[in-house]
Chains A and B, each alone.
Chain A
Amino acid sequence: EVHLLESGGGLVQPGGSLRLSCAVSGLSLRDSAMSWVRQRPGKGLEWVSTLTSSGGAIYYADSVRGRFTISRDNSRNTLYVQMNNLKVEDTAIYYCAKDGGYADTLSKWFDTWGQGTLVAVSS
């Protein structure tokens, strides 16, 4: 069974930086694309970024492109998102989510989700 555990959230000032982690168990990151999806307080879901299983392709939402960087450490089987120049509107619960495809297949729907980590951007 696949489990995802996010960490790294917290309170940060506007313009600050934060790195979120998602520890993955039950699956090698080499075998699945992974994504970050966020949810602002009381709002709906917003896709943020996707990293393919090969690591050869990365996709970002326009709202975070140039400020967020998705990456992974295969030896730690952990997904990351480095968030720089944070804005108040980045305040949200950040979920990591596993792609429904396997190996080189990118399905772009999400069959497993972590419990999320809260990022609060405020002065």
Chain B
Amino acid sequence: EKVMTQSPVTLSVSPGERATLSCRASQSVNNRYLAWYQQKPGQAPRLLIYGASTRATGIPDRFSGSGSGTEFTLTISSLQSEDFAVYYCQQYDNWPLTFGGGTKVEIK
């Protein structure tokens, strides 16, 4: 099983600033089979990124993903008020599908 570790657990950022979230895999994630989701309180997760760097339909271009192997990054270039949420990475290289523990992006 590939264990996904996200850091930091909590990220305090001011609106308009850049946020960088990290996701590390215990083993290499082949073919960059890595997705990112956003979840707001009381809501279901929303797909942001798949294939490590492809934005899902309707996702603003301030969200970008990068990385390969065991190290992946989600960057939010200029945080908007609606971006404060919890973010999860997920590997889909093999079974079982596994998620990271999440990074909460909060207002500084």
Contact = CB atoms under 8 A, between A and B. Distances in A.
A115 B43 CA distance: 7
Nearest to A99: B92
Interface residues of B, number: 23
B59 to A, nearest CB: 11
B47 interface: yes
B50 A100 contact: yes
B50 A107 contact: yes
A61 B44 contact: no
Interface in A92-123: 95, 100, 107-116
Interface of A: 35, 37, 44-47, 50, 59, 61-62, 95, 100, 107-116
Given A44-B100, A45-B99, 14 more contacts: A44-B99, A45-B37, A46-B99, A47-B97, A62-B96, A95-B44, A95-B45, A100-B50, A107-B50, A108-B92, A109-B35, A110-B35, A114-B44, A115-B43
